[in-house]
Amino acid sequence: MDPAINPGTTTRPAGTAGTPPGVPDDQLKGSLGATGITAMVVAAAAPLTVMTGIAPLAIAIGGIGAPAGYLAALVVLAIFAVGFTTMTRVTGGAGAFYSYITLGLGRSVGAAAGLVAVMSYNALQVGLYGLLGLQFQATVARLTGLTLPWWLYAFGAIAVVWALGRRGIDVGARLLGVLLAAETLVLAVLVVAIVVRGGANGLSLTTFSPEALRDPGLIGILGFCFAAFAGFESTALYRREARHPERSIPRATFGAVAFLGLFYALVVWAVVQALGDTEARAAAGADPVTLFTSVMDRYAGAWATDVMAVLVLTSVLAAQIAFHNAINRYSFTLARDGLLPAALAHAHPRFASPARAGAAQSVLALVVVAGAALIGADPYLQLVIYVNTPGAIGIMALQTLTSVAVVVHLRRRPDVSALVKWISVLAAVLLTAATGLMVRHVGVLTGAPTGTNAVLVAIVPAALLLGVVLAQLLRARRPDLYARIGGES
């Protein structure tokens, strides 16, 4: 493995216009603690959106054992987080997947991972604008009777996300903390209402029984379950903007995984109780779109249903803000290392945010949404599902590559315990299996024909290959840039 080289920073001369004397124009800053970082990554997962939009499908396919799927993902990702956070501590890198894969597997694979990360996060973020537009359209029509095209709401959201991202990480973290608390509270209200009223036929733990766990549909929903944690690993991207990153990054990573896994399992279990063990699968399959709305209306009342409808909107908006921030920091890091245009590697002179990277990402989102609107694409099937799927597969592939890279790198570190090294090996095995299952059952996620699924899956290896080719070209033509790949950022 060719070791990563610290590219250093470039400091403008004192008195340069727009930049305080001695402040690097390619450095970010902030004052995030573990709580703020946790809010950023949990908000990216959009718990309320995942529960209302995806969990009904998990119940319909996986049966009453669906909560166990989320717990399985929690266990695997918690095991992965052991080696991941150890890498954060021993390397000090802020590039997350990109930096760690470079350290373990070399610059060519690291460059490929960086491009896949940018592609995957963009696919997840841009695709979600279709869901956001539909949700805003339906809720505004329900509450006011006004019907406007979905893409108008998407355009408005793109502008809001860009403006907040430009203002800096601390502003976004505070807003996301408030929105996350609100969507968590409304789901907690639903759980409490169901438990207090005893569900449809009394409370039970049948959902965790051997019979429920043997349901073949559980394998099919693993993709849903792992995708529900998307973005938790982006905690490492905020290292430059964190207070005491050696403590706050690991705490935020484990905190995000634990909160999401336990909360998802609890909410889905409660909804199964609300429907009844024998009726849950059929009810979820019959009307997955309004399942949570009907359960909330029955157990907590119409007022809670109206509140939830509004908070679903803020949930998906919060996810967009969080994904936007993660994309910008990946782009910022790759631009500093020569893999993306150097213009993206400049921080805002006032807000110390990756403003140029944020503007580029917003323009990309605007172009994709405008294109979808112009050709009359289905905002859910063709923008959300089709665009999100390569992103979800890409994140799983990166987690797998990272787990292998962690094993390789930590093996060389005498200061890391043998237990951590063996846990990292277990994570690599489990994530390889989980990624294989997700690819094999991608049709469950998309509902698309075999040919379409093959194209969606192929996007990830194509991006990996492009990254390797780019790295080799840099190695031959610009060895100075090649030497920067995966460097301390």
282-324: pLDDT as tens digits:
998 887 878 898 899 999 998 998 899 888 888 888 788 878 8
Q: Quick check: 393 and 457 in contact, CB under 8 A? A: yes
pTM passes above 0.85? no
Q: Which of these, 385, 396, 471, lies nearest to 431 by C-alpha position? A: 396
Helix axes 107-144, 302-336, angle to 10 degrees: 150
Q: Which of these, 114, 148, 141, 178, lies nearest to 321 by C-alpha position? A: 178
- How would DSSP label each residue in 91-147? H--SSTHHHHHHHHH-HHHHHHHHHHHHHHHHHHHHHHHHHHHHHHHHHHHHHH---
Q: Is 33 exposed, middle or buried (0-12, 13-18, 19+ CB in 10 A)?
A: middle
In the block, residue with structure tokens 């929903």: 221
Alpha helices, DSSP H, located in 168-244:
169-197, 210-213, 217-220, 222-227
Domains of the chain: 34-482 (1.20.1740.10)
Alpha helices, DSSP H, located in 276-344:
280-286, 291-299, 302-336
Report residue 263 as tokens.
Answer: 């909360």
Q: Which of these, 52, 76, 113, lies nearest to 398 by C-alpha position? A: 113
- Residue 215 DSSP one-character state: -
pLDDT one digit per residue (tens) for the chain, 489 residues: 443 333 333 333 333 333 333 334 445 454 556 667 777 677 767 788 889 878 888 898 888 999 999 999 999 999 999 998 888 777 665 557 888 899 899 999 999 999 999 999 899 899 989 988 988 998 888 888 899 999 999 999 999 999 888 876 555 566 767 777 888 899 999 999 999 999 999 999 988 888 888 887 787 787 778 878 877 776 766 666 666 666 777 888 898 899 999 999 999 999 999 999 889 999 988 878 788 988 999 999 989 988 998 888 888 887 888 788 888 888 888 888 888 888 888 877 777 778 899 899 999 999 999 999 999 998 887 888 889 889 889 988 999 999 999 999 999 889 899 999 999 999 999 999 989 988 988 887 787 889 999 999 999 999 999 999 999 998 999 898 898 888 654
* Cβ-defined contacts of 297-303 (< 8 Å, 24+): 298/274, 299/190, 299/193, 299/194, 299/197, 299/274, 300/189, 300/190, 300/193
